[in-house]
Structure formats: structure tokens, C-alpha cells
Amino acid sequence: QAPDVTLRTVVGLIDTLKPMLRAGELDLMVGTESAAESGFASQRLAEDHIVVAASATHPVFQGKPTLQGLTAYRWVLQPPGAPTRDWLDHTFERKRLPRPRVQVESTMLLMLPALIAETGLLSFISRHHLGQAGSPSPLREVPLKETTMRRRLVVTYRESSYLLPATQLLIRLLGEVGRQAAVVGEVTEAPSPG
């Protein structure tokens, strides 16, 4: 729709990107919803669930998984400061359990499913990475209610800034993708008849 527009992306934690957004170095930021902050406006794009996942052959599936039982295994996680990592750490701390033992830390979310499958580590990722209905995945969700986080993804921009038409188009396209993902998620999570 806009063939002459160039796009530059920056991957980082919200704590790193937000000052860049405030300074005008970025036009917008896509990330996990956080508390409202003066000078910023946000629009919700999508909602998903973050769950503990492991290779389908992981020993965690040999019995009924428990939060305490998860402390016996090593993990691949985002660094501290990432909202999902902080939420998971606090989940263990609230039950007076040690935080997950991290063997691999990565900000490259797209690499996590492959790392989990190849290394036998546990991780904390979107249910969307576990495969859509009808598509096989080498990963399985470790079914624990207390380790299921509802995450809202938003696009954030400076409240007083002028949004170029190309930026407005990108926000609209991101919203459409978010709505499509929500519909797919509803179909994937629908209970089976019977």
C-alpha cells in the first residue's frame, strides 16, 4: 500500500525503547501493555496468553506438573526487565519458591521455540508459538493455571506527535493482524465437542 516508505525496526526491552520514543528517535513502539504514562497514547492490538512450554518429550510431562516441580528444571527466558520474565519470577516468589534457573537468556523471541525444542529447557512463551489448530509443533504447554499470564499487546506513540500517514497505516495494519490473531486464538482454544 505504501511501496516507497522505508521502515526501520529496533528490538529491545520497553525500558530501553520508551526513552527513545519520548525523545522522538522512534515513531511508535509495540509491546506489552503497561501502566498509563503521561505523554504517551496507546491502542490495544491483541491479547494472548503466555504459558510455560517444553519439548513434547520433556520429563516434566511424566507426572502432573506443579509450580514447585518446575524449579527442578533449567530455563530459556528473556532477561530481567522484560514484562513476561518479571511476571514469571514474581509468580515463583509469591509462593516462596526460587526463581527459575536460567541457562539461556535471549531477547530474540523468535528463537525461543527452536531453543526450547533443541535444548530440552523450559520457557515462557505465547500460546501462539505452540502451533495453530492442525499444525504440528515440537512444543507442548505445561498446563498450570498459576503460570498462565494474560498479555495485552499495544502500540504506543507520543500523545502530542503528528503521525505521518504511513505511520497511521502501519498502526491500522498492526491492529488488523492483532484482530486476526485473536480470532485464530479463539478457534484454537475452543473446547472440543463431546
What CATH number is associated with residue 108?
3.40.190.290
Please give the distance of CA 29 from its chain centroid, rounded to a whole number. 14
CA Rg value for the chain: 18
Tell me the C-alpha distance between 9 and 108, whole Å.
14
Q: Which residue has the higher pLDDT, 3 or 170?
A: 170
If one counts the domains in the chain, the total is: 1
pLDDT digits (tens, 9 = 90+) for 54-105: 999 999 999 999 999 999 999 999 999 888 999 999 999 999 999 999 999 9
For residues 170 and 178, the answer to whether their CB atoms sit within 8 Å is no
Tell me the C-alpha distance between 89 and 142, whole Å.
17
Cell of 184: 485464530
Average model confidence (pLDDT) for the chain? 85
Please give the distance of CA 10 from its chain centroid, rounded to a whole number. 16
Domain that holds residue 98: 1-194
Q: Which residue has the higher pLDDT, 66 or 7?
A: 66
pLDDT digits (tens, 9 = 90+) for 113-151: 877 888 889 999 988 878 654 556 788 999 999 999 998
